[in-house]
Amino acid sequence: HILICYRINRTFVNEFILLGLSGYPKLEIIFFAVILVMYLVILIGNSVLIIASIFDSHLHTPMYFFLGNLSFLDICYTSSSVPSTLVSLISKKRNISFSGCAMQMFLGFAMGSTECFLLGMMAFDRYVAICNPLRYPVIMSKVVYILMASVSWLSGGINSIVQTSLAMRLPFCENNIINHFLCEILAVLKLACADISLNIVTLAVSNMAFLILPLLVIFFSYMLILSTILRMNSATGRHKAFSTCSAHLTVVIIFYGTIFFMYAKPKSQDLLGQDNLQAREGLVSMFYGVVTPMLNPIIYSLRNKDVKAAVKYLLSQKSVNQLRPK
């Protein structure tokens, strides 16, 4: 009898309800407008960076190859979640199918894991460029940096497959209300009516591999970079070295700062009340999911002369082509 009830309850959940900001109808309208504008900026800004890195020969370097990958990743990440979020905000349609939730979780986790590795790879690239400039073309050859990017994507995908499959195999009984905008893995695990110890352990291992390890690579790379820069005699050389790293370092601070704010909040904040907690987590979730990908192309465009020059060149070429008689 218990086994039959268990099976019925386990198969009962064929969709989830995403609460989002259901208790704040006025905020929903504001969120819809803000997220829509940000999503358009993400699509345009990152697409311009990808096109510039492909068609401008001056940007055919490891650094801009990684930047192009990062821009493509940001488009994929936001496109896996933002459109459904916009629909739920404007139409009040908050349900998502079980398979749809699994796919959203997989894409979000895969893109996040891959971005961690890509940021670490970019830090290593800057370390080699500044600390070993003469050996840079040999160490960061085309085969090497393509392999580095491929490893980032493949490892992120494998990690996401493991985490998503372990989460979605759990029984959820009749509890299908997710207090979040998205099918975020921690929010989904809270609904499980079974032991999630294995999930917690694998998530801890994943965090060590995809958060801590790249962060250590970034930290030590920039410590060595800083040491090299301070030993430079030329003020122009120091300024140039700092300028090539500033954009990447800014993106790293925003990316990791938001993650630690989301997942390392004090337990005392959970006592604020469910409504306030829901609104706060919604704002942080939007910042992580939309603002960060929107800022990436803006930061790299504003703080990088090569990117600005490439964008201006592409725009000027487009204007010339439009003025030519057909």
Cβ neighbours, 10 Å, residue 24: 15
Alpha helices in 208-273 (DSSP H): 213-230, 235-263
> Which fold is adopted by the domain 25-260+284-303?
Rhopdopsin 7-helix transmembrane proteins (1.20.1070)
Is residue 8 helix, strand or coil?
helix
Say if pTM beats, i.e. exceeds, 0.95: no
Alpha carbon separation from 194 to 6, 100, 150, 324 (Å, rounded) = 11, 22, 36, 67
- Residue 156 CB burial class (10 angstroms; 0-12, 13-18, ≥19): buried
| Closest C-alpha among 71, 67, 58 to residue 125 | 67
Q: Tens of pLDDT along the chain (326 residues)? A: 434 344 444 445 678 888 776 666 777 788 888 889 999 999 998 998 898 888 877 788 898 899 999 999 999 999 988 888 888 888 777 788 888 889 989 998 899 899 999 999 999 999 999 999 999 999 999 999 999 999 999 999 999 999 999 998 888 877 788 777 788 888 888 888 888 889 999 999 998 899 899 999 999 999 999 999 888 887 777 877 787 788 888 888 888 887 777 665 544 444 445 555 555 665 666 667 788 888 888 887 766 666 767 667 666 765 555 556 55
